[in-house]
């Protein structure tokens, strides 16, 4: 019976995603990944190389799933706030990518998989913010996007902090989403004046 290479790679990627989300690159173990996948660990080295390359493959696969999924739609501060709300909801439904990127930053530093594609995606989003908020500079658009990412990703990677400050309760995620949306709306509004031009003093 022929060995199904693509199925085996999919099983290993799925198992590695679970492992690296939980333990990061440094803490992730190849033998645990192989056990979860039900595959001999030698297949990992055969298909992906070293553990670092498997981690990069996991991050790249998740980026391909998510990178273009949530887009900025419409114009004005409300469009930016809506984008933040949808991104937050997406990460609530599936916190995989924020957790992987958290570990990537800790374990890999400036080493980044798919850098060219990610730079292009970032440039596109910056340009889209500048279209939605006429008169806003590239630097301010970048800072606003970084603020949105920090607000949305933190829910997935810092759950204990939310528990300390807000405690668990019914509807907590929705209350947090509303807080994120309101914060981003105010931040976007602060970048433009009442007549749609650059904010006063800029």
How do the domains of the chain map onto residue ranges? 5-63, 70-190
Q: What is the mean pLDDT of residues 177-191?
A: 97
pLDDT band at 164 (very low <50, low <70, confident <90, very high): confident
Q: For residue 98, give the nearest of 37, 169, 150, 142 by alpha carbon.
A: 150
Mention every residue, 6+ apart, whose C-beta is less than 8 A from residue 149: 87
pLDDT band at 3 (very low <50, low <70, confident <90, very high): low
CATH topology of domain 5-63: Arc Repressor Mutant, subunit A (1.10.10)
CATH class name, domain 70-190: mainly alpha
Let me know the angle formed at the C-alpha of 188 by 184 and 190, rounded to the nearest 5 degrees. Answer: 115
pLDDT band at 167 (very low <50, low <70, confident <90, very high): confident
Q: What is the mean pLDDT of the chain?
A: 90
């Amino acid at each position: 019976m022929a060995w199904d290479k693509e199925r085996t790679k999919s099983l290993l990627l799925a198992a590695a995603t679970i492992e690296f989300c939980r333990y990061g690159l440094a803490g992730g173990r190849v033998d645990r990944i192989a056990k979860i996948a039900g595959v001999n660990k030698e297949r990992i080295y055969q298909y992906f190389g070293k553990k670092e390359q498997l981690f990069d493959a996991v991050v790249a696969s998740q980026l391909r799933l998510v990178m273009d999924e949530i887009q900025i739609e419409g114009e004005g501060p409300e469009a930016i706030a809506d984008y933040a709300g949808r991104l937050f909801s997406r990460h609530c439904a599936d916190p995989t990518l924020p957790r992987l990127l958290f570990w990537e930053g800790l374990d890999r530093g400036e080493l980044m998989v798919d850098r060219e594609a990610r730079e292009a995606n970032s440039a596109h989003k910056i340009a889209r913010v500048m279209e939605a908020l006429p008169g806003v500079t590239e630097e301010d658009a970048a800072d606003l996007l970084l603020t949105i990412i920090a607000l949305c990703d933190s829910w997935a990677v810092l759950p204990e902090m939310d528990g300390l400050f807000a405690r668990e309760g019914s509807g907590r995620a929705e209350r947090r989403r509303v807080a994120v949306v309101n914060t981003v709306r105010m931040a976007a509004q602060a970048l433009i004046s009442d007549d749609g031009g650059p904010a006063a003093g800029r």
